[in-house]
Amino acid sequence: MTDKIPYFDLPAQIRSVRKDLDAVIAKTLDNTSFCLGPDTAQFEKDFAKYCGAEHCVGFNSGTSALHIALMLLNVGPGDEVISTPMTFVATSWAISYVGAQPVYVDIDDATFNLDPNLIEKAITPRTKAIMPVHLYGHPFDIDPILAICRKHKLPLVEDAAQAHGAKYKGKTIGTFGESSCFSFYPGKNLGACGEGGALVTNNGAYAARARALREHGSTVRYYHDEVGFNYRMEGIQGAVLGVKLKHLDKWTTERRRVAKRYTELLADTPLQLPRQADWAETVWHLYVVRHPKRDDLKKHLEANGVGCALHYPVPLHLQKCYASLGYKGGDFPVAEKAAAQCLSLPMYAELTDAQIQRVAEVVKDFFKK
């Protein structure tokens, strides 16, 4: 019996940095800076530099960062935000949290990202922002979206939760919009040992307000200028992320190796394979293949010890929680097809060539039947 290949091997990643994690966690236990603190401040500096941005504000999750990103733009009740139906639901939570309404636009079949050609039709006088996602680590097509933003005087917020270090036309994503938001959920390319997120921006006033909002709306203790939140990053997470950030580029290189190998080995299967656009340097958060018999293929992989997952089985316009928006099946056919056919294969830096070959063999086996 061959060993199982997990869909994601977090224990292997943690083992590879365990000594350094133990040391920084022990240091935090000694200095007891559990909320924000010096390690979080240092990580904010390091991550801003990594993104080529002036400011990074640490949060307790990517969802919180996205919420604050829309508050910084004063988006509120009655407003609309254009976004993608093919994403993790938290992208839309941010819109709902400020009392605004998500307005979805279909995706581009090749990249799974918001289709720039469809955005203008969705703009109304109530539109207050455009918030696409760099899905699966692949940048969205930023230039045409920025051109629309400029034409209609709309701010852009990048949901960069899955795309730490990805590049668009040679430049690291994260500073194209007014702000961008990252998640450090443990399964992300850069993950905390718990929850974490960040808002990155070149706008000093936004950064200052974001810092206040994450800390109960205050800059001076017990004086609260506006209603705020407890959205602080924990000190231990700042310390952990500081350690892991040093490994991120190396891990991304390994993810690229894995993706290249899958693409070689699966080229002659009936699967629709993910592709990298000419202008993109994806960081392969996920390697998502598509096939009409996705559910059977998933069962076959699992029965043969290969982990896999669905990102995402139901597009947001068809989620129960958004039924009141009035969308129906058929409104966004490209996203609906992607949701029905997508399958995420194991993708992480530690995957060995033998494991990749095994995944490919099991996939090929399915099509031989």
C-beta of 83 vs 175, nearer to ligand PLP: 83
CA–CA separation, 187 and 195 (whole Å): 10
What does DSSP assign to residue 190? S
- For residue 280 the two structure tokens come to 């993109």
- Using the contact rule CB under 6 A, the part of the chain among 3-11, 59-67, 248-256, 354-362 near ligand PLP is 59-67
- Min separation Cβ 91 and ligand PLP, Å: 5
Q: Pick from 62, 174, 191, 315: which binds ligand PLP (CB under 6 A)? A: 62
Q: Pick from 162, 180, 252, 341: which binds ligand PLP (CB under 6 A)? A: 162
C-beta of 204 vs 313, nearer to ligand PLP: 313
The alpha carbon dihedral of 241, 243, 248, 251 has a sign of negative
Q: Are 213 and 207 in contact (CB under 8 A)?
A: no
Residue nearest to ligand PLP according to CB distances in the complex: 62
235 to 274: interface string for ligand PLP, x by CB under 6 A? ----------------------------------------
CA atoms within 13 A on the CB side of 130: 32
Q: Which helix (H) or strand (E) element contains residue 287?
A: strand 287-290
In order of 8, 13, 145, 192, 281, the CA distances from 18 in angstroms are 17, 9, 41, 13, 29
Contact call for residue 158 and ligand PLP (CB under 6 A): no
Contact call for residue 88 and ligand PLP (CB under 6 A): yes
Q: Are 329 and 336 in contact (CB under 8 A)?
A: yes
Residue 83 sits at φ, ψ, to 5 deg, of -150, -175
Contact call for residue 107 and ligand PLP (CB under 6 A): no
Q: Pick from 40, 172, 180, 183: which binds ligand PLP (CB under 6 A)? A: 183
118 to 137: interface string for ligand PLP, x by CB under 6 A? ---------------x----
Would you tell me which residues interact with ligand PLP (CB under 6 A)?
Answer: 61-63, 87-88, 90-91, 133, 159, 161-162, 183, 185, 195, 197
